[in-house]
Structure 1
């Protein structure tokens, strides 16, 4: 299997620092690699979702909801057609995540098993024997 890693720089909205209510971390539809990394969701169903079981650095397992809000495909006047990962607030608080930190999501493609961590702003990523090449995606980055 192929191990993949994605990271996203967290915003104050992502971590709850603004006090605003946001329905999870947004995943742009243009991020086809990242969407393929996550379980498939059937767009013919209104707001299809899947629960992700994700292990953190301490070995704790968190449950996040991966959802495709898609009422624009099903309801007259519907406006939403976006992917999000929700139910992350407890994890962010536990990890002490703040704006500028990096959310790191890894796993083996097709297994639907994931690991998650927060890399604090300014911390260098752990170096592999050969330096990874980073490709900048909007909001999210895939780490090769």
Structure 2
């Protein structure tokens, strides 16, 4: 039975303009709030450990100790310096004939960050690229 004689049924119309507007707003929101990862400007190579290497092949390291109050010691001898260049000279003397020795920093946990940075700067000025930090494990 057709009760609607004379009336033509109109097909529903889908309007895509509001859909496009909503999608553009979402796209703009995502573009504005996305954080892009920024790669570090310093390229560092992390050290690896190989248990098969022997200590005989390694050159004599330079042990730099830093106390909690900022006193320095190079290979067990107290070191005093005024500039990073002076400290680099001390490191060169401690290295002797070794071309590129390993500099081991033994810093007290309470020592100032600047003290460690001083050692790193002096090693850079001396031309030593191998630098490591000694740590100890917590005894349980």
TM-score range, shorter chain: under 0.3
Quick check: which has more Rg, 1 or 2? 2
Which of the pair is proportionally richer in strand?
1
TM-score, normalisation: structure 2: 0.26
Which of the pair is proportionally richer in helix?
2
